[in-house]
Amino acid sequence: MIKARRERKAQSNTMRRSKLSVRIAFITILSSLFSILALEFIYVYMQGVVEDYEHVIDVDLNDEELMDSIMVDMHQHQGMVFEHMVEPEKIARQEIMDEAALVEKRLKENMMTLGESVRGTEYEAVFHDIFSDMSTYVKNVKLVVDMTKEHKEQTANVYMVNELIPLVQDMDKQVEKLGDMIHNNVEEVKIKVKSDTDMMRIITYAVLLLLVLSSAFNVSYCIRISNEMVSRDLLTGVANFDHLINVGEKLGKRNRLKNYSGLAISIKDFKFINQEYGSVIGDIVLKSYATALNEKLIRGELLCRNGGDNFLALVEKERVESYLKEINKVPVDVGDKLGLTVTSRCGIYQIAEDDTIYDMVNAGLIAVGETRTSGAQDYVWFRRERRDEMIRRKDILNGYHRAIDEEEFVVYYQPKVNLRTRTLCGCEALVRWIRNGELVPPGSFIPVLENDGKVQELDFYVFDKVCRDISDWQRRGLQPVRVSSNFSKLHLHNKEFAEDVLAVVDKHGADPYYLETELTESSGYEDFNALTHFVSEMKEAGIHTSMDDFGTGYSSLSLLRDIDMDVIKLDRTFLRDQYDAKEEKMVENIVRMIHDLNRHVICEGVETEEQVEFLKRVGCTMAQGFLFDRPLSREDFEKRLINPYYD
């Protein structure tokens, strides 16, 4: 039943995202097609407007010019004929007629051009009347000229008045009629062009408006999908930490956060599940478990993944008890007929009226941390007396940036000793906080800074001081030893972690030979690929790498095989019973295996000579601990560099 609900919910989320994606794609394609069609329509519409305008310019106005030219030539020709009649000299008459012949030729050419232009138009009938009058006029002009040559001027004058002048006048009327028709047509075309232009402007605005609306619609859908992707954990599909913070802040502003309890939930023995069944099965367990937790929430409640196998939830106060019963044991089907029952640890915090979402998160994490130390209890309610602890954590976080700026953090160096020669062979850089003249224990502020992510900045602060000191010692003629600097596993989430480390080295010109970067064993199985990449980059740059806390996790042996670190640091738990033969044999074999893999081995926490003898017997020749030196200030460590021998 649970599996079916889980599958239905997963399918529902997938279908919802798919529908949104299809809608965006459909609207985008539709908008693109509409834009193309609209542009094509506007282009065709514009072509019609342009053609009308060109017709006015190239045809109608040209026709008007031709008619004006024709009438000018007609009147000029008529004047020449009259001048020919009254001219007494024969030679002068001939010159007049030669010039008239040129005008007549031009007149005929213009008439032919006009005829071609108006052919098939409404102007053609009027043109024929004009052409007929011109043809009759030309014929009658010859009669008048012949009468003049025969000295019949009086007859020619009468003929001209009765025949030629009426023809010219009729041509004037016909030309004026044609001109009016062309003028009216031009005005109609102008009105049409203006109307079409206005319509085209409206269409363009409509297209632009539709495109804007379509774009806004697409953007809104894209924002919805982006917000959903940004607010969701990619592996499990539930909300991520940022989304929980946003929701919590909104509830706080509306004074509704106090209606909820905060739950910090983690899977019991999840590291063992990863080790036993592999990371693929581990991911399936995480997804199935997250889905099961999420399905048991009601509207208004929220579950988020806080990294790894850790979850945070906002649950209504009156539902907390019933919710805890439902998540106590969750069956998980991981395929291949393999079923697991997942149990959890949970820290519960009753949110008070003046609490923020960050108070809830911190209190829940404190409470779930208490389940790991309480032994029998899997569910722990945050005790009010722990509020002082929260206040202390806030005080540390609030004072952190000032401490960085004013260099209240000081680097101490704890020597590493070669047990065969009893000489200094290296050291570990440790940070100390000198606040208001008093030493703040590292255990009280390092976990707080790590939980808040600020420890990453502090790590680089220490590493910067280490590189500076190494360069300074070499410049002053002091022979350095290799210094290991601790880096939190949180750095592995930074894809440019290695580049940032090398940038600090280059900044101070420190010799990579004297540098060693140290990460805990748990870094390997939380982000194996990132750790492998980082170790490879350090090795290429000539910087050593070391694994701290070896032996405290489940995947120690596989990490030894798969990650090429230079130094393995044995946890102090290996020294718990140096008089037990089985214990000694086990440690001896581990040390031999590390040496066979061409790695160095060192043990921390050495406090007695008996432990030194034990380490020598098992083949471990390097150690650090209070037997030799506590962490030393820079000045005291420089004295140890000058005198590296231990009695």
Residue with tokens 């632009």: 208
- 249 or 230, which is more confident? 249
Cβ atoms of 515 and 505 within 8 Å: the answer is yes
Partners of residue 330 on adjacent β-strands: 342
Cβ atoms of 605 and 625 within 8 Å: the answer is yes
Angstrom distances, CA of residue 114 to CA of 72, 103, 133 = 15, 16, 15
Question: Rounded to a whole number, what is the largest CA-CA distance in the chain?
Answer: 162
- Measured CA to CA, the distance from residue 532 to residue 537 in angstroms comes to 9
Cβ atoms of 121 and 106 within 8 Å: the answer is no
- Measured CA to CA, the distance from residue 370 to residue 311 in angstroms comes to 16
- Structure-token pair, residue 311: 């979850």
Handedness of CA 531, 534, 540, 544 (dihedral sign): negative
pLDDT band per the 50, 70, 90 thresholds, residue 45: low
Backbone φ, ψ for residue 430 (5° rounding): -125, 145
Angstrom distances, CA of residue 200 to CA of 34, 204, 220, 441 = 16, 6, 30, 78
pTM of the model: 0.49
Residue with tokens 């009058």: 133
pLDDT band per the 50, 70, 90 thresholds, residue 205: confident
Cβ atoms of 452 and 397 within 8 Å: the answer is yes
Cβ atoms of 535 and 565 within 8 Å: the answer is yes
- Measured CA to CA, the distance from residue 345 to residue 327 in angstroms comes to 10
Q: Which of 113-122, 182-191, 461-470 has the lowest mean pLDDT?
A: 182-191
Please tell me which of 25-34, 131-140, 281-290 the model is most confident about, judged by mean pLDDT: 281-290
- Measured CA to CA, the distance from residue 29 to residue 565 in angstroms comes to 54
- Measured CA to CA, the distance from residue 381 to residue 261 in angstroms comes to 10
Q: What pLDDT is recorded for position 225? A: 64
Q: Which helix (H) or strand (E) holds 193?
A: helix 165-230
Q: Which helix (H) or strand (E) holds 540?
A: helix 528-541
Among 232, 193, 182, smallest CA distance to 17 is for 232
- Measured CA to CA, the distance from residue 90 to residue 92 in angstroms comes to 5
Mean pLDDT of 82-102: 79
- 454 or 178, which is more confident? 454
- Measured CA to CA, the distance from residue 340 to residue 362 in angstroms comes to 30
What does the pLDDT look like over 594-639, one tens digit per residue? 999 899 999 999 999 999 999 999 999 999 999 999 999 999 999 9
- Structure-token pair, residue 193: 């062009």
Among 306, 317, 326, 304, smallest CA distance to 349 is for 317
Among 419, 420, 422, smallest CA distance to 643 is for 422
Q: What pLDDT is recorded for position 428? A: 96
Among 351, 270, 347, 269, smallest CA distance to 312 is for 347
| Pairing of the two strands 339-350 and 379-381 | parallel
pLDDT band per the 50, 70, 90 thresholds, residue 591: very high
Mean pLDDT of 198-206: 77
- Structure-token pair, residue 491: 């750095």
Handedness of CA 533, 538, 541, 542 (dihedral sign): negative
Residue 273 has pLDDT above 60, yes or no: yes
Q: 622-646: string of b/e by CB count within 10 Å (b at 16+)? A: bbbbeebbebbeeeebbebbeebeb
Q: What is the CA radius of gyration of the chain?
A: 50
Q: What pLDDT is recorded for position 604? A: 92
- Measured CA to CA, the distance from residue 413 to residue 638 in angstroms comes to 10
Q: Which of 24-38, 256-270, 309-323 has the lowest mean pLDDT?
A: 24-38
Backbone φ, ψ for residue 515 (5° rounding): -115, 145
| Pairing of the two strands 438-440 and 423-435 | antiparallel
Cβ atoms of 480 and 426 within 8 Å: the answer is no
**DSSP labels for 509-522?**
T--GGGEEEEEETH
SS3 (DSSP) at 233: coil
